[in-house]
């Protein structure tokens, strides 16, 4: 059975990889391993060593700390301010593991600045009406 931290690191690995639009094959090739190993990391079946985590973080253009953010049971005081700013005070912990959310973020950042601002205003208005 996988350790909860290994599962969390694997979920964060998958989340970041998908957010960047990388396949398991491309990520694996960039760090010199086979894609099956990425599958094992993402499922939590295999633990990621420190040196491999460093290489993956570099390939995914993110700090190593990214993989440990939002760990269940770990309170980050800096995050409290952000959570308090949300309408209901909480955010779903796995919000970015949803494919629809990742697709929405990608599409949003493909827009130029003005349509992005208008879309954000629309979303805020719709959220307030709900």
Report the 10 Å Cβ neighbour count for 114: 8
Alpha carbons 35 and 25: distance in angstroms, whole number: 5
Crossing angle (nearest 10°) for helices 4-19 and 35-43 = 130
Measured distance CA(119)–CA(127) in Å, rounded: 12
For the segment 106-129, what is each residue's pLDDT rounded down to a tens digit? 888 888 999 999 998 998 888 887
Write the pLDDT tens digit of every residue in 64-106: 999 998 887 655 444 433 432 345 555 555 666 677 887 888 8
């Amino acid at each position: 059975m996988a350790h909860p931290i290994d599962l969390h690191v694997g979920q964060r690995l998958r989340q970041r990889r998908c957010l960047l639009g990388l396949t398991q094959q491309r990520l694996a090739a960039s760090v010199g391993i086979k894609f099956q190993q990425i599958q094992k990391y993402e499922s939590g079946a295999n633990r990621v060593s420190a040196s491999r985590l460093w290489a993956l973080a570099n390939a995914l253009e993110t700090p190593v700390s990214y993989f440990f953010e939002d760990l269940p049971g770990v309170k980050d005081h800096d995050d409290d301010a952000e959570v308090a700013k949300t309408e209901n005070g909480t955010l779903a912990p796995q919000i970015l593991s949803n494919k629809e959310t990742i697709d929405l973020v990608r599409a949003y950042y493909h827009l130029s600045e003005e349509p992005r601002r208008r879309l954000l205003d629309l979303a805020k208005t719709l959220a307030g009406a709900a």
